[in-house]
Amino acid sequence: MLYPAFFNSVSRRRPSFSAHFISSRLLVALLTLLAVLEARGQSQHTAESPRNMVASVNPIATAAGVSAFEQGGNAVDAAIATALTLGVVDGFNSGIGGGCFVLIRTAEGDVVAIDGREMAPAAAHRDMYLRDGKADGSLSRVGALASGVPGALKAYSEAVSNYGKLAFSSLILEAAEVAENGFQVDRVYSSRLRSTRKYLQQFPGSAAALLKPDGSIYEPGEVLRQPDLAETYRQIAKCGTNWFYGGEFAKQTADWMKSNGGILTVDDFKNYRTVRREPVRTTYRGYDIYGFPPPSSGGVHVAQILNILESFDLQELQEKDPAKMRHVVAEAMKLAFADRAYWLGDPDYVQVPKGLINKSYAKQLAAKIDVNKVTPVMSHGSPPLKEGDFSKKHTTHVTAADADGNWVAITTTVNTTFGSKVIVPGLGVVMNNQMDDFSIAPGVPNAFGLVGGENNAVAAGKRPLSSMSPTIVLLDGRPVLTLGAAGGPTIITQVVWGLINHLDLGYSVGDALAAPRLHHQWSPDRLVIETALDQKQVAELQQRGHDISSRRGIGVTQAIGWDPKSGRFTGSHDPRVPGKAAGQR
């Protein structure tokens, strides 16, 4: 680990705002260099520390989280510092132009869920994407009509203000320095630019911010600087989040939207609110599992799948017949996703039954699984409705933990790669295309192939359904694991695999993330597997009746575990992509 000595020397000389600003420029520049050098020489995707831990998909962002720890911050500060920096170095996945779910287990033992999901504009309506009576999916994915009101910034600020120890302004200023000084584009960032260049070129602000003057992309190793994003971050640090929600950022964005056929207004920004929600809690083989409630479908269906799987001894199945174990898990996923399509939506607008995570209902669903062959699932199930509902009445995951007992899981997104592909000129912020997560018309799949019903139809002020699944696991009241993922609907199944691999099969945190995955989302009726899966198991799954397609990788997961025996955190980033897990020594 290269960081601690440097951090100690820097953190001792931060006596004033001006000193902070000067040292932050040096800090970020050196952090960037150290992170890149270490990433080049490191093959392992895990790290250990007795004090704290943070994990993300980018070494520079993780270094910002460790820096927050070194400045006296806790896991909340570290997670938000990491998330803000990811908005710079991983902006095709997330940023303040998008939304997030923040799940926090505080040192006092409370579990808090902050909903920073985007909201539909006031002028949004159920049929806004119909043209000549037919749904036009391109309108909800690219351009001015694709964006909901961003919520990530407000959620980040609220999390730090209520549960952190550092000033939010200091965290965002250090991220601004990364944007100003630039960073070396890696192969993943470059490939995302290549895949979306023709869309980015449609919008002058996007082309100016993310492409070279001649319209070509930044190749791996080249430095991308984002001065407009840096200035936006600095204005937020100076003026507060109201500059974004109703101030100059909102005004410039609303003017651009009006000129380009969009409907987002200054009032939409002014009226945005985060929502405190009650976390989803279930038990699994003696563990307490906390997830995020609707409009996340993740917490509900991770819990539902686990409840179904409790009827099976997965460890025994793995030892005797690994293909059968995977078949059972796939069938449980299929049953849950059928329920997702029908029942899930924004709980402030529709009733989402708590009976979906009822143990008795899970046993009914488990009884439908034939361990030897595929069972067709024609439609959703009928969970008990008497238990009430969950109402108040492309993506990345950040996780952090500290020895005081603060644990944080944040999943944040602009939806698909570079969101709506829109950057308003002069602002530098990638705007989300989260409106595509609504059901733009019954039975019409979104960018991830998911279909939905009326519960997830577009409505003014409504939050679209999400698969984001930040998760925290407790044993005897003490946190022992947190994880979350990126990858659309595969987020849910990735989290399930992480939990199964670690809690059922006894894999280490790193091995739990590295193990081959499979995914089934009911519609389309297809089992997606990773190419690393043993071919004998693939053949046996086909013999059981699965229609199989393969991918090199299914999503990206980050996790942190705690071992009470050794008294150490183990952090892991997904080995499928570059990333970094790190903590103080």
- Separation CA 14–CA 22 (nearest Å): 9
- Separation CA 458–CA 90 (nearest Å): 29
Residues known to be catalytic: 395
Cβ-defined contacts of 189-193 (< 8 Å, 24+): 189/89, 189/90, 189/92, 189/218, 189/224, 190/217, 190/218, 190/219, 190/220, 192/92, 192/417, 192/418, 193/92, 193/217, 193/218
Question: Which helix or strand (DSSP H or E) is residue 113 part of?
Answer: strand 111-116
Helix axes 75-89, 227-239, angle to 10 degrees: 150
- Separation CA 107–CA 403 (nearest Å): 9
* Structural contact between residues 470 and 101, judged by C-beta atoms closer than 8 angstroms: yes
Question: Which residue, chain included where needed, has tokens 């056929």?
Answer: 261
β-bridge partners, 55: 399, 581
β-bridge partners, 411: 101, 397
How are beta strands 527-530 and 548-551 bridged, if at all? parallel
Helix (H, G, I), strand (E, B) or coil at 427: coil
Question: Which residue, chain included where needed, has tokens 């993943």?
Answer: 188
CB-count exposure of residue 261 (10 Å: 0-12, 13-18, 19+):
exposed
Q: CA nearest 68: which of 84, 87, 57?
A: 84
Whether the CA torsion 12, 18, 24, 27 is positive or negative: it is negative
- Separation CA 421–CA 155 (nearest Å): 23
β-bridge partners, 131: 134
- Separation CA 8–CA 274 (nearest Å): 36
Q: CA nearest 582: which of 418, 362, 401, 313?
A: 401
Q: What letter represents residue 517's amino acid?
A: R
**Residue 457 gets which letter from DSSP?**
B
Residue 501 token pair: 């691999």
CB-count exposure of residue 478 (10 Å: 0-12, 13-18, 19+):
middle
Count, residues in the chain: 585
- Separation CA 215–CA 198 (nearest Å): 9
Query: The sheet that has 527-530: what strands, in order across it?
Result: 518-519, 527-530, 548-551
- Separation CA 334–CA 341 (nearest Å): 11
∠ Cα 462 451 152 (to 5°): 40
**Residue 429 gets which letter from DSSP?**
P
